[in-house]
A and B are shown apart, each in its own frame.
Chain A
Amino acid sequence: MSELDIGILALQGDVAENLMSTMEAMNELGIDGSVSQVKTPDQISAVDGLIIPGGESTMMGQLSITNGAMNSLKEKIESGIPVLGICAGMILLSKNSKDRVLGATKQPLLDVLDVEIERNSFGRQKDSFEAEVSLDAMDIPSFQGVFIRAPAVLRTGSGVETLGKFNEKIIAVKQGNILATSFHPELTRDVSLHKQFVKMVKDSKS
């Protein structure tokens, strides 16, 4: 058994990139841990921490209902294991999500993060952008934010801490064991956010 087992939800999206960033983060922290791809309820129930990667949130939501992953994800997160939701992952974690153009949709959500999300908040792919953001509450003063058809948080509930904003829109939040970002730390070489997440998982185990 390794010290920590972190799972990347591997139904769809940029799974391998998160796997590499998490392994690199463990390396830099000198933590002996393992990172694996998880798809099934059994695999999900075995991990100490979970990353829901970037991809298409509608697709991931539907598929996780089909194979029963939705319920085990929800149970596992409510039991208190740390979870990092990135872009589509942030949408999936939310209680409420609407599309900037289409408005309310019927997409399945995990309903654990008390925020309202606006999907495609900054526009379509041509308006995807890179910009420096700061997450001072996470001890990350400067991070190159890669925003791809990114969502933003419109409203936060009482237990939710805003970690970062871009142009007046909330782009990173924390609620207890749940961490979520609009941008993609796994697409850059900087693993400082993944390191903070690995520390959260380590702290939750001790």
Chain B
Amino acid sequence: MIPLSGDLAKAKGIKSENVESVDVTKGTSTLKRGFAHMLKNGVVMDVTTVEQAQIAEEAGAVSVMVLDKLPSDVRKAGGVARTASIRIIQDIMDHVTIPVMAKCRIGHVYEAKVLAEANVDMVDESEVLTPADENHHIWKWDFTTPFVNGARSLAEALRRIEEGAAMIRTKGEPGTGNVAEAVLHIKKVNDELRTIKSIYDSDDKQGLVSMAREFKVSLDLVEETAKLGRMPVVNFAAGGIATPADAAYLMSLGCDGIFVGSGIFKAEDAMERARAVVLATTFWEDADAVKEAQKMINEKQSILGLDVNNLELRMQERGGSS
């Protein structure tokens, strides 16, 4: 059984049909969130080509995320970053058996519709691309395809869940090869979860109402989350993960799995590193196994990495206030 907190029972994305006198329902929260549950303890890798997708699959990735450019190249290129070419996405879907995700711009309902029609398995409404609507995210309940969203705090995460996100990931600071912001975000989420859990446990209804006001989400969702003591959907780490040890550290902080963006295919040892990050994610509790994974990579071949305090563009701030 999985939590269905905040579920919108009459969402437009839920489709019912009758197949040979049996009722068949698609797009329910059980199906959307359940899909994310199948990815747990796994690694989702950013890819831009069929070759990279095949390397990711062979290395043991649970899914690939298709982009036009890897986040660090988005940073370098500047300009407007949009969703990837549909032909490349479909070509990748024809060449790997694992699920294929793709990113759309924050608030860009039609990029999301195009991706859903192209039959991607999950859409990432992502701050890595240039936001199309600074004030609103997509109302994801209208879609049969599930969505994942980034969040820097529990408040942001719950707002995205209230809009229909079936999965959350930390925002971190994409394309930097610097894990510091992802660590900051998951620790903030954990602190906030502890806070609302203790308010719930002390039966302080007024306290929960204050938190709902502060978070700008419904009291019901805050209350159900407080009762669970964890995020009501699967929560992955993302943004700046570059090494097996990075992945294991974030797993140890309570993340359900890992997204790796530029960390793998901007490194010079992509194949080995992809495999090593998967091993470290699966066996994170065993420090010796993580050491063995870390030994598979060469630090001289890691992505160079950026100081997150001197960035011209902080992607994590995109869509954060809405």
Contacts and interface: CB of A to CB of B under 8 A. Distances in A.
Given A20-B1, A59-B62, A125-B146, A13 B41 contact: yes
Contacts of B30: 130, 146, 187-188
B242 interface: no
A202 interface: no
Contact of B42 (A59, A107, A167): A59
A102 B62 contact: no
A158 to B, nearest CB: 28
Nearest to B146: A125
Interface string B237-261: 0000000000000000000000000
Nearest to B28: A130
Nearest to B62: A56
A20 B62 CA distance: 23
Contacts of B20: 167
- The secondary-structure label for the interface of chain B is loop
A101 B40 CA distance: 25
Interface string A74-92: 0000000000000110000
B28 A56 contact: no
B99 A149 contact: yes
B1 A188 contact: yes
B38 A148 contact: yes
Interface string A180-206: 000010111100000000000000000
A21 B119 contact: no
A83 B38 CA distance: 19
Interface in B8-56: 19-20, 22-28, 30-31, 34-35, 37-42
Contacts of A66: 279
A126 B144 contact: yes
B94 interface: yes
Given A11-B282, A59-B278, A131-B25, A187 B34 contact: yes
A189 B30 CA distance: 11
A167 B97 CA distance: 23
B34 to A, nearest CB: 5
B9 to A, nearest CB: 13
B40 A187 contact: no
B34 A146 contact: yes
B35 A128 contact: yes
Contacts of A146: 30-31, 34
Interface of B: 1-2, 19-20, 22-28, 30-31, 34-35, 37-42, 57, 60-63, 93-99, 116, 119-122, 144-146, 278-279, 282-283
Interface of A: 10-17, 20-21, 39, 54-56, 58-59, 62-63, 66-67, 87-88, 99, 101-102, 105, 107, 119-120, 123-132, 146, 148-149, 166-167, 184, 186-189
29 contacts: A12-B41, A12-B282, A13-B38, A13-B42, A14-B34, A14-B40, A17-B1, A55-B39, A55-B41, A56-B62, A56-B63, A58-B57, A58-B98, A59-B42, A59-B60, A59-B61, A87-B38, A88-B38, A102-B94, A107-B97, A119-B97, A126-B145, A130-B28, A148-B35, A149-B121, A167-B19, A167-B20, A188-B1, A188-B30
Chain A to chain B: the 5 pairs with minimum beta-carbon distance, closest first: A125-B121, A14-B37, A56-B62, A12-B41, A59-B60
